[in-house]
Chains A and B, each alone.
Chain A
Amino acid sequence: MLPEPTLNSYLMLSAVLFAIGTAGVFLRRNIITILLSVEVMLNAVNLTFVAVDRFRGQVDGQIIVFFVITVAAAEAAVGLAIVIALFRHKEMLTPDAFTSLKW
């Protein structure tokens, strides 16, 4: 029989997902994959909000999740626009290629 999930198991799961996201930001060398890793981190935080919401029997966490998803949409739109602009300049997606502030 599997153990019943406690609040701690949900928090642990979201910590694992957050750690995976940070590792992706540090290790990947493709701007798009780095943005995807940021999305993984945002989702880990959302899971924490929803789990604590269920634990306390409130709805505030779900409202915060709504705002986080909206901000994630804005972030993705602006981030991808910057990716397209960068790709136009250097024909590359490696963040290490963009070492100069001016060109």
Chain B
Amino acid sequence: MDALLFWILAAGAVTASVLVIGQRNPMRSVLLLIVSFVALAGLYVLLGSPFAAVIQIIIYTGAIMVLFLFVVMLLNVPTEEIPIGRAARLLGGAAPRRFGAVISAVLALELFWAIGRMTVLNMPGGDVKPTEVHDIGVRLFRDYAFAFEATSVLILVAMVGAVILARKEPR
């Protein structure tokens, strides 16, 4: 049962991610990415991490993707345009894009090669016992307390920065 669910969710996540890359319309990309994130949340549940699954759904699909949707709707640019000008053609023409495709293919092959050479490590057997959120909380607020506080400063800086960057400049 778990094996079947793993393969279904993995296939769903990979298919949705490929379609995200394949779309020309950013609106469809955002919606397909939500599908991919929900499939990954299912995988987290299979791995016995309900905490990671819940924050994936609430923060990623609930907050970040809504932010993306807002911007896509606000800017209202349905498709990609053809670049104009010589500098733009040099940067984004067919040759640089082919080079980029080759580089990403090389990266993928390297990753597959490295993981293929690993010895096969079986997951611990028996029933999956979900990790207690209590344990995560204790670890987070004791051992990772400084990182947690630093994160709050990061969020504050990002918030102020976003407001200043997106503000209309007074002329």
Show the binding face of A for B, using Cβ within 8 Å: 1-13, 15-30, 32-33, 35-37, 39-40, 43, 46-47, 50-51, 53-55, 57, 59-60, 62-63, 65-67, 69-78, 80-85, 87-88, 92-97, 99
Contact = CB atoms under 8 A, between A and B. Distances in A.
A85 to B, nearest CB: 5
A80 B158 CA distance: 11
Interface of B: 2-4, 6-7, 10, 13-14, 17-18, 20-21, 23-24, 26, 29-30, 33, 36-37, 40, 43-44, 47-49, 51-52, 55-56, 59-60, 63-64, 67-68, 71-72, 74-75, 77, 80-81, 83-85, 87-89, 91-92, 97, 100-101, 103-105, 107-108, 111-112, 115, 118, 120-124, 128, 131, 135-136, 139-140, 144, 147, 151, 154-155, 157-159, 161-163, 165-166, 168
A89 to B, nearest CB: 10
Given A50-B47, A74-B158, A59 B75 contact: no
A27 B97 contact: yes
Contact of A13 (B14, B74, B103): B14
B104 to A, nearest CB: 4
26 contacts: A4-B2, A4-B3, A7-B123, A23-B21, A23-B105, A24-B21, A26-B97, A27-B97, A27-B101, A27-B104, A32-B30, A47-B40, A47-B44, A55-B123, A62-B131, A66-B136, A67-B144, A69-B56, A73-B64, A73-B158, A76-B68, A82-B165, A85-B165, A87-B75, A97-B83, A99-B91
A55 B116 CA distance: 18
Contacts of B52: 46, 50, 62, 65-66
B166 A81 contact: yes
A20 B18 contact: yes
A15 B115 contact: yes
Given A23-B101, A54-B47, A57-B124, 7 more contacts: A7-B123, A10-B47, A26-B100, A33-B23, A43-B60, A80-B71, A99-B85
